Homo-oligomer: A and B are copies of this chain.
Amino acid sequence: MNRRVTVRDVAAEAGVSQATASRVLAGNESVDPALARKVQEATRKLGYTANVMARALRTQHTGTIGVVVPSISNPYFISVVEALEGVLAETQRSLILCDARDSPAIEADRIALLLGRMVDGLIVIPVSATDSAEALRSASGQRPVLQFDRYVASAGTDFIGTDNRDGLRQMIEHVRALGCESFAYVGSRATTSTAVERLEAFRALASTPHLSEHWELLGEYNVDWGLEAGRRLLDSGALPDAIICSADLIAVGVLTVLKDAGVRVPDDVKVVSYDDSMMGRITSPTLTSVRQPVEEMAREAIRLLDGGPGQSSARKCIFTPQLIVRESTGAEPE
């Protein structure tokens, strides 16, 4: 646990000034090739790596962006992180990740942490449409901030998301085409923009004038809620023709309960879901699910972030998702 090796050490070893060493390390300044080589060698010999914090203190940027997700155990969020990581790697940058554990307080804390560590920008999937606003707003006063997937209007930051309404439309048209006329919606409580938009779209689309009844079960974005909701559905007596789940995590729970009760999917009831995460490919049956174009969204997110703060007002960029049909609505096993 030796003292860190600093530019000063490198400079001494190479027999040049600190400034020269720094120039060589930066690469872009004009330095005598001979001296440059000496510095390179010293660097290698001493195993020098720059202290990012000290450098950042000076330059005000770090080549890292901070990412805060509501829950690290949601595979959809993980896929977002991986996509962002890929895009950043193209420009030699990296990301540091924090988990808000579904708590606005922890989220605010992590945002402050990242800001204090001088990330060049922040990408946040907000925990709450209301309680996340303040932290986002105050952060956006210091660094470019972009909301991803979920939108908090009052935060006043740029936003990348998808058309949840259209996603729901695709789900419902698909099962209607299969003959379904009654629907249950199993989603999360309306605490996020995605939850609100999906629920409203469901309400608008699920019932037509002359037919179909529908019902709604609202909880959280996790497997346990899916299990619970599945049980309630079963206890209520009659099942709908189709169960519309607002996330794969939830659908997984629902599917499990259905299976245990001997209900056959898709024969007895169809199940459609949202996210198209890895989970939906390992369940039995596999899940028909709405895929969001995560890679493209990630690329656009970094582009916006790099563009600095929105010129005048916050920019919104909405992508169109696409339904992927699998066994839970009757696709043949691959």
Q: Is the CB of B98 within 8 A of A94?
A: yes
Residue in B53, B99, B140, B260 whose beta carbon sits within 8 Å of that of A81 in the complex: B99
A75-101 residues at the B interface, CB under 8 angstroms:
75, 78-79, 81-82, 85, 94, 96-99, 101
Contact of A94 among B53, B113, B142, B144 (CB under 8 A): B113
B117 and A52 form a contact (CB under 8 A): yes
**A318–B181 CA distance with the chains assembled, in angstroms:** 57
Report which residue of A98, A101, A116, A140 has the largest number of chain B beta carbons within 10 angstroms of its beta carbon: A116
Chain B residues near A138 (CB-CB < 8 A): 47
| Closest partner residue, chain B, to A110 (CB atom) | B94
User: Taking the full assembly, how many copies of this chain does it contain?
Assistant: 2
How far in angstroms is the closest Cβ of chain B from A28?
Answer: 20
Whether, in the assembled complex, A115 has its beta carbon less than 8 Å from a beta carbon of chain B, the answer is yes
The smallest beta-carbon distance between A231 and chain B, in angstroms, is 12
Which positions in A face B, CB cutoff 8 Å? 1-2, 4, 47, 49-54, 56-57, 64, 72-73, 75, 78-79, 81-82, 85, 94, 96-99, 101, 109-110, 112-113, 115-118, 138, 140-144, 223, 252, 255-256, 259-260, 278-279, 282-284, 308-309, 333-334
17 A-B pairs whose Cβ atoms sit less than 8 Å apart in the complex: A1-B140, A1-B142, A1-B144, A1-B309, A64-B113, A73-B82, A82-B99, A94-B98, A94-B109, A94-B113, A96-B97, A96-B117, A97-B99, A223-B278, A252-B282, A260-B334, A279-B282
